[in-house]
Structure 1
Amino acid sequence: MPLFKETKKEEKVKAEKRIVRFNASGIEYAVSIERIKEIIYAKEVHPLPGAREGIEGVISLRGAVVPVIDSRKKLKAAAVPPGPPEHILIVEVRRQKIGLIVDRVNEVIAVREDQIQRTESFMDQNAAYVDGIYRVGERLIVLLNLERLWTAAETSELEATLSRTISNGADLSPQNKRKQ
């Protein structure tokens, strides 16, 4: 009989999803913790001349150059004028590390799959990056799918821009930084 109880416990764990909740322009979002490599405090971002719109620049993270995108702009979340961001989520999308500027990281929690309401029936096809919505008390949190937030073409272009910048010997010295 104990073996049967263990199986039920494993099934319960499988039905939960660990997510990281964060704010961007006053809106609460969440992403699966599986996509997050680390969370760092906001730091200076080096602008990239000629970078596509939405790319704020790059940061140096333990010797690696990581492109940085402002989540507030990418998600078109302009409900609240942005103040200085507190954190950068280092995420991995299609084997590419990307820094995602957020106002604040709130917490890491586990939610049951049945708590997440799917949105396909009432969301625009252009917002396919929304995996669902879940409730915490009276608040609604938008669950994002980072794989769909960027198209394959966007991540390829991001990688190409980054490669060109590094091969051209971009100046990442302190004089060429922009403070976020």
Structure 2
Amino acid sequence: MSDTVASQTVLEEEDSQKDKYLTFVVDGDAYGIEIRHVTEIIGLQKITPVPDMPEFVRGIINLRGKIIPVMDMRVRFNKPFREYMERTCIIVVDIHDLSIGLIVDSVAEVVNIPAAAVAAPPDLTRRGNRFIMGIGQAAGEVKLLLDCEKLLTDEETEQLLNN
């Protein structure tokens, strides 16, 4: 395959993922993350706790021989922990060259939210707003669109990479 064809293929893949978000629910609120960050969605499995991790990092899982840290999005968003249910699942994403699992209450669907339907997040001083890149509207519903790059601080990423 020539470089030109390979470049065009990459551009077509990026274009097909443009404005597409995987939506999910955490504590009754609807969120979305850009589909380009999502590797896969898996059912909940045995999580091995790791000492000296932030509270929101529940531990690690072995996914086909690859060790992946998992974080509970409820705890990350300072919401109360809840026992996992039948619909609880893990969204595997790539953040800062690190595969990480996001434990969510349930996954909804992939929706198309054009940039014109995304508003800036409110300018509040609450720390939790750092995760929000925008507020999107799809099918008359509001979705809080997350910035995957900001789900972990540089220090937290370094801590996960070194354990």
1:64 and 2:66 equivalent?
A: yes
**Superposition map of 1:1-180 within 5 A:** 16-78=18-80, 81=82, 83-84=84-85, 86-119=88-121, 122-124=123-125, 126=127, 127-161=129-163
Shift of 1:54: 1.5
8 Å CA contact 2:19, 2:113 repeated in 1:
yes
In the alignment, the residues of structure 2 paired with residue 67 and residue 83 of structure 1 have an alpha-carbon distance, to the nearest angstrom, of: 17
In the alignment, the residues of structure 2 paired with residue 38 and residue 137 of structure 1 have an alpha-carbon distance, to the nearest angstrom, of: 24
Structure 1 segments (4+ residues) deviating >4 Å:
80-83
8 Å CA contact 1:25, 1:82 repeated in 2:
no
Write the deviation string for residues 128-162 of structure 1: whole angstroms up to 9, x where unpaired: 2211112234532100001012111110111112x
8 Å CA contact 2:133, 2:146 repeated in 1:
yes
> What letter matches 1:58 in structure 2?
I
Cα gap change, 1:152/1:24 in structure 2, threshold over 3 Å: closer, same or farther?
A: same
In the alignment, the residues of structure 2 paired with residue 52 and residue 38 of structure 1 have an alpha-carbon distance, to the nearest angstrom, of: 24
User: Tell me, which stretches of 5 or more residues in structure 1 are unaligned?
Assistant: 1-9, 162-180
8 Å CA contact 2:111, 2:138 repeated in 1:
no
8 Å CA contact 2:113, 2:137 repeated in 1:
no
Cα gap change, 1:76/1:139 in structure 2, threshold over 3 Å: closer, same or farther?
A: farther
8 Å CA contact 1:96, 1:159 repeated in 2:
yes
8 Å CA contact 1:69, 1:100 repeated in 2:
yes
Shift of 1:107: 0.2
- Percentage of pairs with the same residue: 28
In the alignment, the residues of structure 2 paired with residue 123 and residue 71 of structure 1 have an alpha-carbon distance, to the nearest angstrom, of: 20
Where 1:47 maps in the other structure, the secondary structure is coil
In the alignment, the residues of structure 2 paired with residue 146 and residue 65 of structure 1 have an alpha-carbon distance, to the nearest angstrom, of: 20
CA RMSD after TM alignment: 2.3
Write the deviation string for residues 39-89 of structure 1: whole angstroms up to 9, x where unpaired: 1111111111232321101100010110010011101234x9554252101
Q: Tell me the residue number matched to 2:4.
A: none
In the alignment, the residues of structure 2 paired with residue 82 and residue 17 of structure 1 have an alpha-carbon distance, to the nearest angstrom, of: 33
Where 1:128 maps in the other structure, the secondary structure is helix
Q: Tell me the residue number matched to 2:5.
A: none
User: Tell me, which stretches of 5 or more residues in structure 2 are unaligned?
Assistant: 1-11
Task: Calculate the TM-score normalised by the size of structure 1.
Answer: 0.74
> Which protein is bigger by CA-based radius of gyration?
1
